[in-house]
Amino acid sequence: MGKQRVKFTFDENMVKQPVIYELGQKFKIATNIRRAEMSEEVGWVILELEGDEPEIQRGLEWVSTTGVRVDPLGGDVIDG
Amino acid sequence: MISRLIWAFVPAILGQEEPTAVAFVNGLKCRECGREYPADPLNVCDFCFGPLEVVYDYATISEVVSQDSIAKGPLSIWRYKDLLPAEGDDPVDIMAGFTPLIKARGLGKTLGLNNLYIKNDSVNPSFSFKDRVVSVAATKALEFGYETIACASTGNLACSVAAHCARAGVRAVVFIPSDLERGKIIGAAIYNPILVSVDGTYDQVNRLCSELADDYPWAFVNINMRPYYAEGSKTLGYEVAEQLGWRLPDHVVVPSASGAMFTKIWKGFNELACLGLLDGVPSSSFGIDQNTVHHPAVTTRMHMQQAMGCSPIATAWNNNQTQVIPVRPDSIAKSLAIGNPADGIYAIKVIERSGGSAYAVPESDIVEGIKLLAETEGIFTETAGGVTVSGLKHLAESGAIKPDELTVVYITGNGLKTQEAVEHVVHPLSIKPTIGSFESVFEGAK
């Protein structure tokens, strides 16, 4: 079992979609929301995912295909 | 929480050896929920996953630091060691900082600014401001006992980490996207780090390094060392104040990627004010939250510049958004190409508090900015500097900066690293080795 901390960003097309619910339904992943801010146009959720690491990777790849942006926790680490 | 300073003095109290200088750090604190942590290699809060910031023992710092004590220090960032979160007696130091602050007469005349200064940080040892943050992070990493220092970088950081590791005699592992400018790849490789060129996008390198940081016992300067690393940028604020005779400018113009440097310059100004280190400004309390303190004597307007191809913070500010929406970078200013800026929302608060601004510089203006600085001041900056100078030009032309206001523009990287961007400027007069050939061509060129 592994854990991964990620940030999902939803644009206005995705902000009403139950992506986190579906992530838990489609994959054997426990989703644990720690912090979030949502509005009608945009939103982000910081959460911890727990499950087998390959399953987490498959789950994150699926989330990316929905149009939700997936980033590591804390923003980009790529730096100048 | 027990101050590390107290522990540092215990041997002296017991009549043992003299205490060594210890950073005046009480610990770390979550910027979102306020939970406190020891000063360990951590960067996020376990509870809410918010970013952690260093908490200082300012009461003790105020007893030891003064304009005189700073003036007696080395000509590097370590003259401000009492205000940095790492021990300053034996730092990993390649002499970062104390770079020139130059009265910009040529550029100022062109832009109609009579009181313009350039903070030329492109002359740091590895040719960018990154030497400031890496010197602090590397020193802290060795304090923690790490034997490998790593980073994910678009170039400047890779060069600086590799250089500091060479100096310290420890292993460097630097991850870069494979499409980086040649000057930056060579500028890092020359120090003989383990250079990992990732065949992938910035996003993919980003994700890879975040995962590696969990699995490898390495000090990633911009991940698990980030609270300490970011504090190094405060020295950009300290130095400008000291070089101006312990006063603050009316305006500063700063390039921005993650937003961290921007917020730390502001923090540096406010620390100096609260500690009574500015001329004519009495010391005052830091209040409840050290990281959001705004001393009334700090009236500097903070102006952020981003490249249009990656301007999530400027876009959020100019559209009155409460959130910074990530973007996919598409800019020639690769050192500013952070699509999901970690400190974006905090940078916006600084713009708001300071009465500043944010501007997205059109991509087509970046090279013009590089050339303008070179032709008026003799300073060759990289694409990030082109963004900054073009942003300054916009501020001057729009009247946001008045002609006689004291303004400092930060130039943070050297042009030799991004020569590809300005290759088109090379138009030599080609002649035969004779005076006649020269004169015929020279007459035509006049």
pLDDT digits (tens, 9 = 90+) for A48-70: 999 999 999 999 999 999 999 99
Q: Give A55's contacts (C-beta < 8 A, 6+ positions apart).
A: A27, A28, A29
pLDDT at B37: 97
What is the mean predicted confidence (pLDDT) over A9-33? 95
| DSSP for residue B131 | H
Chain A hits for B342, CB-CB cut-off 8 Å, are: 74-76
Q: Do A76 and B258 touch (CB under 8 A)?
A: yes
pTM: 0.93
HSE-CB at B332 with a 13 A cutoff on CA atoms is: 22
Of A34, A42, A74, the CB nearest to B325: A42
The alpha carbon of residue B10 is apart from the nearest alpha carbon of chain A, in Å, by 37
Instruction: Quote the ipTM score.
Output: 0.90
What whole-number distance in Å separates Cα of residue B444 and Cα of residue B429? 10
Nearest to A6 by CA among A58, A77, A72: A72
Nearest to B264 by CA among B207, B204, B191, B342: B342
User: Does A17 have pLDDT greater than 80?
Assistant: yes
Of B32, B155, B223, the CB nearest to A77: B223
Q: Are B240 and B85 in contact (CB under 8 A)?
A: no
User: Is A67 in CB contact (< 8 Å) with chain B?
Assistant: no
Chain B hits for A44, CB-CB cut-off 8 Å, are: 323
Of A7, A37, A77, the CB nearest to B222: A77
pLDDT at A9: 94
User: Is A53 in CB contact (< 8 Å) with chain B?
Assistant: no
Chain A hits for B264, CB-CB cut-off 8 Å, are: none
HSE-CB at B204 with a 13 A cutoff on CA atoms is: 8
Interface test with chain A among B126, B174, B203, B319, by most A beta carbons within 10 Å: B203
What whole-number distance in Å separates Cα of residue B370 and Cα of residue B374? 6
Q: Give B11's contacts (C-beta < 8 A, 6+ positions apart).
A: B17, B18, B19
What whole-number distance in Å separates Cα of residue B300 and Cα of residue B277? 16
**pLDDT tens, chain B, 446 aa long:** 333 333 333 333 334 444 344 579 999 999 999 999 999 999 999 999 999 999 999 999 999 999 999 999 999 999 999 999 998 789 999 999 999 999 999 999 999 999 999 999 999 999 999 999 999 999 999 999 999 999 999 889 999 999 999 999 999 999 998 888 888 899 999 999 999 999 987 778 888 998 899 899 999 999 999 999 999 999 999 999 999 999 999 999 999 999 999 999 999 999 999 999 999 999 998 887 888 899 999 999 999 999 999 999 999 999 999 899 999 899 999 999 999 999 999 999 999 999 999 999 999 999 999 999 999 999 999 999 999 999 999 999 999 999 999 999 999 999 998 899 999 999 999 999 999 999 999 987 77
Chain B hits for A59, CB-CB cut-off 8 Å, are: none
Nearest to B226 by CA among B259, B186, B179, B188: B259
Q: Do A75 and B325 touch (CB under 8 A)?
A: no
Domains of chain A: 2-72 (3.30.70.260)
The alpha carbon of residue A16 is apart from the nearest alpha carbon of chain B, in Å, by 17
Q: Are B311 and B338 in contact (CB under 8 A)?
A: no
What whole-number distance in Å separates Cα of residue B324 and Cα of residue B120? 29
Token readout for B246 is: 């312990």
For B430-436, the CB contacts below 8 A with 24+ separation are none
pLDDT at B15: 41
The alpha carbon of residue A34 is apart from the nearest alpha carbon of chain B, in Å, by 5
pLDDT at B251: 98
Rg of chain B over Cα atoms, rounded to whole angstroms, equals 22
Q: Nearest residue on chain B to A69, judged by CA atoms?
A: B326
Q: Nearest residue on chain A to B221, judged by CA atoms?
A: A77
* B308-327 core/surface letters (b: 16 or more CB in 10 A; e: else): bbbbbbbbbbeeebebbbbb
Q: Are B272 and B293 in contact (CB under 8 A)?
A: no
Chain B hits for A63, CB-CB cut-off 8 Å, are: none
Interface of A with B in 7-46 (CB under 8 A): 7, 9, 11, 34-35, 37, 39, 42-44, 46
Residue type, B113: L
User: Is A4 in CB contact (< 8 Å) with chain B?
Assistant: yes
What whole-number distance in Å separates Cα of residue B430 and Cα of residue B161? 41
Of A34, A72, A80, the CB nearest to B157: A80
Q: Do A78 and B152 touch (CB under 8 A)?
A: yes
Of A42, A48, A74, the CB nearest to B51: A74
Q: Nearest residue on chain A to B44, judged by CA atoms?
A: A74
First to last CA, chain B: 71
pLDDT at B16: 42
Confidence bin at A42 (pLDDT 50/70/90): confident
Q: Are B366 and B332 in contact (CB under 8 A)?
A: yes
Domains of chain B: 4-77 (no CATH), 101-127+233-425 (3.40.50.1100), 130-229 (3.40.50.1100)
